[in-house]
Amino acid sequence: MNDVKWCIPFENALTEAGIRLHRHERPGFASISYLSIASEHWGEMARHARDHDLRWAGVWADIENDEMRLYAMFVHPEGHLLCRTSLSGEKPVIPSHTSSYPVADRMERHVRDLWGIRFEQSEDERRWTRHQAWDEDEYPLTHEYDSIEKETKKTRAPADSAYPFSRIEGNSVYQIPVGPVHAGIIEPGHFRFHAVGETILQLEERLGYVHKGIEKIAIGRDVDSLLRLAGRVSGDSTVSHAWAAAMAIENALEMTLPDDIVKMRAILSERERIANHLGDVGAICNDVGFAFMQMQFSRLREEWQRTNHQQFGHRLLMDRVVPGGVCLDATPNPDILMKELEHIRSTVEELSVIIEDSPSLSDRLVGTGILKITDARELGVTGYVGKASGIDFDLRRQQPYPPYDAIEVPARIDTEGDVAARVRIRLGEIMDSLQLLERLYQALDVPSEWRIALPEISSELSGIGYVESWRGEIITFVRLDQQGRVARFFPRDPSWFLWPALERLIDGNIVPDFPVCNKSVNASYSGHDL
């Protein structure tokens, strides 16, 4: 059960300010504090949350029993707080959180675009997710919107060429438009630079080009189908998103999984973390001309993913996490896995020395793309980007979920906030995850079944799951109807906060350093665009 002592000062402050609140106790939210607040106090509530150093972690809407509800998640080092309010009217209006938490802007615009909720005092009324695909009075996640009828019309969406980017005026200031189609194989996103000479004055992003309608197409699925969808929210975080969705369902059903099943999920998650860090460290080095290092880290990543396929059934570990357990074709061979750990550990140690001792590499990485700790806190950044800027937060340590509640996860913090610091954090996390995997392999017993049956669902249920993915904190909300079908699914990827961080840290850098800054952050287009 959640210890709510940390939340009491915040609740007392709301009460003293005349804000009525109601505490809920619900099975799917047993690990978090859950409050209902009147809609007229929504903005004031956020101001108190900011004053009590709560991190803003997401907003989403839902329609339950024909009532529109809005949720906002806040995070304290000791726990999560979910606030809920109810909205009325055909065109609901509610105070914005952006005056207290500027990073709330894009997610509120996402909610407005898909639900029609208008946020008062919001400084930005531009479309974010919808682009030009829907008419002004169409909101795809509401019950009134008929996606089948819309599809049969087969009309081409108008080009979004008139998006009003903000402008900087002045002598010698010019714009550089990049994307949305890029020269490589990365997903589409538009970057609009303002620069003088080679110095970047401002970067503004335009995302949403890979909006897939994840929240809409989740509705009506069974739980197995939902997890397959969750694993494709962002393909490089397939384990993490599927685990968060599974956790939300299992929390709603008040399920406790056997130790060896959650240990296997952690094994899959740590292997996903290592694979992505290996690939990104090499790519960062390649972006500044150190191709040798990319070759070496790409080789290690390929070897690692081949083991994924041989021992776990899929190179990216896709569809390995299922409701109630994991899906494995056969039990992995511990001797092969332990031997692999030693190979990766010794090789990464050797390569790390080369990285640290390379003057030309240091010249490009040290002092480049600095994200100050004040900016990191303001933007609610987690994961390796936050850690590199001095933010000591990792769900596996601060709010551990099984099996991390029985395993010590090392603290990995840097304070420089530059590209070099983000590389150091990634290399450190590789070594930490190798150590965790060794302990997990040694403690793992083979259960009779890798999956337990879910209890029968006969009433509406909802739950929250949160997982420390390789990018940072993922929070997932799932609501099931009386038949056990998905009524609402919202996966909040850490990239919602990493993209604004990229805009902030690039100011004052030179244009040629943008690729390496971008890769050092490596926010997900797909995980953000939904």
pLDDT of residue 260: 95
**CA proximity to 30, closest of 251, 245, 258, 253:** 251
Assign 151 a pLDDT band (cuts: 50, 70, 90): low
Q: What is the mean pLDDT of residues 34-47?
A: 95
The CATH H-level superfamily of 5-153 is NADH:ubiquinone oxidoreductase Nqo5 subunit (3.30.460.80)
Question: Domain locations in the chain?
Answer: 5-153
| pLDDT surpassing 90 at residue 478 | yes
Q: What is the pLDDT of residues 225-243, one digit of tens each?
A: 999 999 999 999 999 999 9
pLDDT of residue 299: 97
SS3 category, 63 = strand
Q: What is the mean pLDDT of residues 175-196?
A: 91
- Cα-Cα end-to-end distance for the chain: 32
How large a percentage of the chain has pLDDT more than 90? 84
Gap between the Cα atoms of 43 and 255, Å rounded: 35
* Neighbour tally for 135: CB within 10 Å: 9
Answer whether 310's CB lies under 8 Å from 328's CB. Answer: no
Q: Can you spell out the DSSP letters for 468-493?
A: E-SSSEEEEEEEE-TTS-EEEEEEE-
Assign 1 a pLDDT band (cuts: 50, 70, 90): very low
pLDDT of residue 147: 66
pLDDT of residue 65: 84
Q: What is the pLDDT of residues 75-114, one digit of tens each?
A: 999 999 999 999 987 889 999 999 999 999 999 999 999 9
Q: How far is CA 468 from CA 237, 252, 402, in A?
A: 11, 20, 12
pLDDT of residue 154: 59
- Report the mean per-residue pLDDT for the chain: 94
Answer whether 264's CB lies under 8 Å from 437's CB. Answer: no
Q: What is the pLDDT of residues 437-460, one digit of tens each?
A: 999 999 988 888 999 999 999 899
Q: What is the pLDDT of residues 289-331, one digit of tens each?
A: 999 999 999 999 999 999 999 999 999 999 999 999 999 988 8
pLDDT of residue 136: 83
Structure tokens at 202: 């401002």
Q: What is the mean pLDDT of residues 63-81?
A: 93
pLDDT of residue 2: 56
| pLDDT surpassing 90 at residue 17 | yes
Assign 26 a pLDDT band (cuts: 50, 70, 90): confident
Least confident of 130-134, 166-170, 202-206, 516-520: 130-134
Q: How far is CA 142 from CA 61, 114, 116, 199, in A?
A: 10, 8, 8, 44
Assign 336 a pLDDT band (cuts: 50, 70, 90): very high
Q: How far is CA 91 from CA 68, 119, 126, 137, 189, in A?
A: 11, 11, 17, 10, 30
DSSP one-letter code for 462: E
Q: What is the dihedral of CA 484, 489, 491, 492, to 10 degrees?
A: -130
